[in-house]
Amino acid sequence: MNITKKINGTHTVIANFADKVVLAYNPYAAEPYVVWYLDNDGDPYCGVYTDNIHFARHKFCERVVSCTAIGDFIRNGC
């Protein structure tokens, strides 16, 4: 995915992990930051919306970990 891609025509992607998790921004929204999972077609789902960039970055990192082998390692308590 192109890092400057727009999702839903309103949100600009500002971080992308393997086309599975994105952090996007819409300056006109009440909660301008959103973290979405992306399906195989690149469509977003399960959005977490916030007005706090630090919280958005945290959620992005959590979701990246959940999509990787390190997430399995952490969840299994190894």
**Mean of per-residue pLDDT scores for the chain:** 86
Give φ, ψ of 13 to 5 degrees. -70, 125
Residue 74 pLDDT: 52
Mean pLDDT for the stretch of residues 18-43: 94
- Residue 12: name the closest of 59, 54, 44 by CA: 44
74 vs 52, higher pLDDT = 52
What is the domain partition of the chain in residue ranges? 6-75
Residue 33 pLDDT: 98
Residue 5 pLDDT: 80
Q: Where are the beta strands (DSSP E) in the chain?
A: 6-7, 11-17, 21-25, 33-38, 44-50
Instruction: State yes or no: pLDDT of 13 exceeds 60.
Output: yes
3-state secondary structure of 63: helix
Instruction: State yes or no: pLDDT of 24 exceeds 70.
Output: yes
Euclidean distance between CA atoms 45 and 20, whole angstroms: 10
